[in-house]
Structure 1
């Protein structure tokens, strides 16, 4: 008898249904990043109406969300290794959607900060559970592409938040207040949180159509499934600490560059070239969509191609290429033509996206099923604390505290590319050979016949 309700009885689900699952989880991922990235278009009105600095706004975009996302992500990851992952996701989508909508009613910075923390708790349910579900639905030779499609939701959500959000911002009144039932008088920009948050409740209902799959690659003892204590789970996760942490930190500093770029590029175009924020958001959003989608799909395809050729550390090679691509893009914010900058930003946006699915797959392949969600949560902990928590903050810190000039934001973005690219490259290189050895040993173990048969 199955321990979880709604578990999928068929041992080999059809590829068509597996892709349906990925598509629906990707839609949820898009929704989560729409909620997350819309703040990038609202820097000016939030600063004006709540009387904030760049640094305080950066904490709303990053640290307020990242703190609870990462801490609760580990707790939820542990739960997802033991309970019904689909139901965890459904609960999380409903929670983050409601709390995003409630951001429309905040009156103070503290209320805003705590509401964003709550959004982080809800969104912490998705990725660890989704990574584990997708790994159970797909064979290894197709896993990186499937994981990349899911991860593509990050960039689709970010790009759509900028592109669609820019159009919505342009139509909002710039002065006065709006009267909304229940919430009362709100600033015009707060209406966006209602428009983006409430549709997520529909997505949470759609996820009920996903069936919980049977868990693959489960550790067993004496013919039965092994239930691991937290200490045992952590020991397995960190069985290869150098390899695991190199993937986590390498990917985190790729995300560091990505989050910092997404958060501040619209403001950069506004301050440096005088572009209106809606125009900057729409223009960069379209570039981000094209570059990120092509980058994440290329990363997954290339990683799977290398695996098929017998290159076991091919997933890490994608990260090395990506980090180098980010590093060599450091000069782009200094270019004097806004249209040329817009075109050139395709390059770092492509490489910031490309290792995300491949790296997530690499983590899944290192782990047995009982710790996949937990290891994913720790992986996401590093990405969000370093990437989301520090990426937007570094740009604001350099602008406010180092250069002490809002117009110096271009130099802050240069620093972002250099720090993100160089640290990411260093850590991916540290784990490259070790990951190859681990995977080669595992492949050899799988070839050994049991009892000589």
Structure 2
């Protein structure tokens, strides 16, 4: 038995019969992408209000990094494996709807937090709910689109973290400014909380409504799960061992990419505020709007370019383009924190986001390419465990530690980005080049 071939990818005729047609898969993709956007809005909302939260709770940058990373990632990491197992075994629609309602409730609880401990606990609860999203969504996308039509849907879906992170700055800054100016004072219950708390509660309310709408969609029929193979975790790990080199490289390159880009984006707003003495209600909406527009254009453009090159016969296009874009991105990221004046900052931020989105497309495309359908939920869960626990937790904390404890001073976090980001990205690029060669051998061996 070949370990590397996903059993549902045997040919175009089989694909045409196995997958849904018409608007239904695209409507589902749109909804899943919206959920993915919401998840990143909820987990990143604090980024536009770091200094107000610090002042309100009397905490440090390192404690903020723990809220953004460890608090979220701890239970996320514990729960994502059983969530992946559940996504492979049970109704994904029901599981995902329950999870969205749960994490939205935790987002609202974070908004009512009056202590560091309560905020930490609510962030842990957020991680439990969001642990179900990726295994369910990637499994549903895989069962909705055949391999030869999967790159563009993945490009759309993987734009969500970039859009969600940008929207978190826009929405967070706007809601904070609205509440700070007294606009929320007449709203029952919400009018009596601090501006940063108000900005946390509102997205949670939206999420509760969005979670209920999942039941308007039909559960996709599972593809290639009738092969007689067990869907247990041991079998999924056995499949991964059969392709150890590929999985280690794709996991490693993506984790380091996440670590580097989470690090600078997590501290973007406070670094700019401290360097240029701007308030959160100015930096958040401005930076978020630029990131929203440019990251969406860049990610969708990268997906389109990859598809065009692949259709022209370049089987390495997905990694070639990703490697070039990642290498080019290093220059404007460093430029954001070294140029003089805010105009240069916004130009560098725009360029950084135009170049940021190719790695998630490449990683998920390769994982769905080499993973059979009865393993996809669990292996995507393992991938997200690594990416979120190591990337998010360590990324934000490493940059905060270097900035606060090693360099020190109000501009320490900016210098931490300048020093840490290119070093981490260099290692990720080396692994990406190795991954391209390993994938080339895999395709030559398995067709």
TM over 0.5, shorter chain: yes
Match of residue 356 from structure 2: 352
Q: Retained in 1: the 8 A contact 2:108–2:204?
A: yes
Matches for 1:144-155 after TM superposition, within 5 Å: 144-155=151-162
**8 Å contact kept, 2:72–2:127:** yes
Pair 1:249 & 2:256 matched = no
C-alpha distance in 2 between matches for 1:57 and 1:174 = 25
Instruction: Check conservation: 1:254, 1:352, Cα contact below 8 A.
Output: no
Matches of 2:190 and 2:79, distance apart in 1 = 28
- Superposition pairs of residues 368-407 of structure 1, within 5 angstroms: 368-407=372-411
Quick one: which of 163, 174, 182 aligns to 1:167?
174
- Whether the 8 Å contact between 1:299 and 1:358 is mirrored in structure 2 is no
- The Cα shift of 1:372 comes to 0.7
- For residues 141-160 of structure 1, what are the alpha-carbon distances to aligned partners after superposition, in whole Å with 9 as ceiling and x for unaligned? 22111012112221221111
Q: Which moved more, 1:402-411 or 1:55-64?
A: 402-411
> Contact 1:260–1:392 (CA<8 Å) still a contact in 2?
yes
- Find out whether 1:277 has 2:284 as its counterpart: no
Q: 1:326 aligns with which of 324, 329, 333?
A: 329
How many Å apart are 1:50 and its aligned residue? 0.9
1:33-52 → structure 2 map (5 Å cutoff):
33-52=40-59
- Measure how far apart 1:217 and its partner are: 3.5
User: Separation in 2 of the partners of 1:66 and 1:19?
Assistant: 30
Aligned-pair CA distance for 1:180: 8.6
- Equivalent residue, structure 1, for 2:211: 204
Distance verdict in 2 for CA 1:108–1:157, change over 3 Å: same
Between the two proteins, the alignment pairs up a number of residues equal to 429
* Equivalence for 2:5: none
Task: Label 1:287 to 1:181 Cα distance change in 2 as closer, same or farther (>3 A).
Answer: closer
Separation in 2 of the partners of 1:410 and 1:233?
A: 42
Q: Deviations over 1:40-76 (max 9, x none)?
A: 0121111111110000001111221122223311221
Larger mean CA deviation between 353-362 and 56-65 belongs to: 353-362
Where in structure 2 are the equivalents of 1:26-65 lying within 5 Å?
A: 26-65=33-72
- Structure 1's 32 and 408: CA in aligned 2 closer, same or farther, altered over 3 A? same
- Structure 2 residues not aligned, in runs of 5+: 1-16
- Structure-2 change in CA distance of 1:71 and 1:411 (3 Å): same
- How many angstroms does 1:400 deviate by? 0.7
Question: Could you tell me whether the CA contact under 8 Å between 1:299 and 1:355 is conserved in 2?
Answer: no
Task: Name the CA shift for 1:323/1:70 in 2 (closer, same or farther; >3 Å).
Answer: farther
2: CA distance between counterparts of 1:300 and 1:70?
Answer: 29
Residues in 1 aligned to 2:77 and 2:257: alpha-carbon distance in whole angstroms = 17
* Aligned partners of 2:80 and 2:132 also within 8 Å: yes
- Could you tell me how far apart the structure 1 residues matched to 2:107 and 2:86 are? 24
2:23 partner SS? helix
CA distance in 2, matches of 1:346, 1:263: 16
Q: By how many angstroms is 1:366 displaced? A: 0.8
What is the rounded CA distance, in whole Å, between the counterparts of 2:216 and 2:423 in structure 1?
43
Match for residue 291 of structure 2?
A: 288
Partner of 2:24: 17
- Name whichever of 345-354 and 74-83 sits farther off: 345-354
Structure 1 residues 37, 133: CA separation in 2 closer, same or farther (over 3 Å shift)? same
Q: Distance in 2 between matches of 1:179 and 1:104?
A: 18
Distance in 2 between residues matched to 1:28 and 1:179, nearest whole Å:
30
| Structure 2 CA distance for aligned equivalents of residues 69 and 180 of structure 1 | 33
Q: Distance in 2 between matches of 1:89 and 1:109?
A: 29
Specify the alignment match of 1:447 in structure 2: none
Q: Are 1:441 and 2:439 an aligned pair?
A: no
Structure 1 gap segments, 5+ residues each: 1-9, 444-453
